[in-house]
Structure formats: structure tokens, C-alpha cells
Amino acid sequence: MIDLSIANPDNISMVELNRKLIAEKNLNVLTIKKIQKLHFLKNKFIKKMELTDNNRLLYILGQIITTIEFKLQALWGFDLDISYHKFFTLPKCKCPKLDNFDNVGVKNAQIFATNCPVHFLQDETKKNCINKLL
């Protein structure tokens, strides 16, 4: 039987991929391995976010994680849909938690805080780059 655990940078495996969903989606071993690798990378980047207060780095890591989330949706055979991303759970994110949690899966209902270093570039231009993600 294939190992479905998801490794994290601390080498403590706490989560396993959903065996029933894997069967339902008829995922092959190669796809499962890719999903595990992406979860590992995501956990690694989340750890980096926890350890930095550099706004530019937080923003870049947030974008990388969004890309990983889309890749995961594709590998699982889901539509690429940002409304299912739990972006508000990322470290240092200042976007509203409860309202966004209620809106998971609801199109165009995500609420971003302009002072969030993860989802808005906090530089002198104050340029809103979130539209590039949507």
C-alpha cells in the first residue's frame, strides 16, 4: 500500500492525503507523488513565511503558494478556482479570517485587507497586484 503521508520541513508527518478522494478521482501513483511533493514545498514556504517579516518576501511566497494551490487543484482533477484557496490561513496574512472562511467556494467573494503583506505589495507604489491572481 502506498504511503499517503505529507512530509513537512520539520519531518513530522501529521497529515495524509484523502484515500477515498484518491480512489474517487482514480489518481495514479505518479500524480499522488506530485501532490505529496507540492504539499511538502507548500509547507516549506509556509515555514519560511513564519520566519520572516520581510514584506516583499511574504508577498512573493504568497504568490508561489497560490500557484502551488492551482497546481494541486489541477492534479486532483478539480477546476482551477481561487475561491477554494484558504489564503487567509497563511502566516502574517491580515485578511479577514471569519468572513473569508464563510466564503470558501463562493466566487468573487474573497476579502483582502490592503495592509496585508501577503496579498498586497507593501511598497512605495502600493500597487494592487491581487488582480493578477484572479
- The helix, strand and coil proportions of the chain, stated in percent and rounded to the nearest 5, come to 50, 5, 50
Number of residues interacting with Zn ion: please give it, by CB under 5 A: 5
Instruction: Provide the mask over 73-112, with x wherever binding to Zn ion is found by CB under 5 A and - wherever it is not.
Output: --------------------x-x-----------------
Compute the distance between CA of residue 48 and CA of residue 106 in angstroms, rounded to an integer: 29
Instruction: Provide the mask over 40-79, with x wherever binding to Zn ion is found by CB under 5 A and - wherever it is not.
Output: ----------------------------------------
Does residue 121 interact with Zn ion by CB under 5 A? no
Does residue 116 interact with Zn ion by CB under 5 A? yes
Task: Report the b/e string of 10-42 with b at 16+ CB within 10 A.
Answer: eeeeeeebeeeebeeeebeeebbebbbebbeeb
Interface with Zn ion (CB under 5 A): 93, 95, 116, 118-119
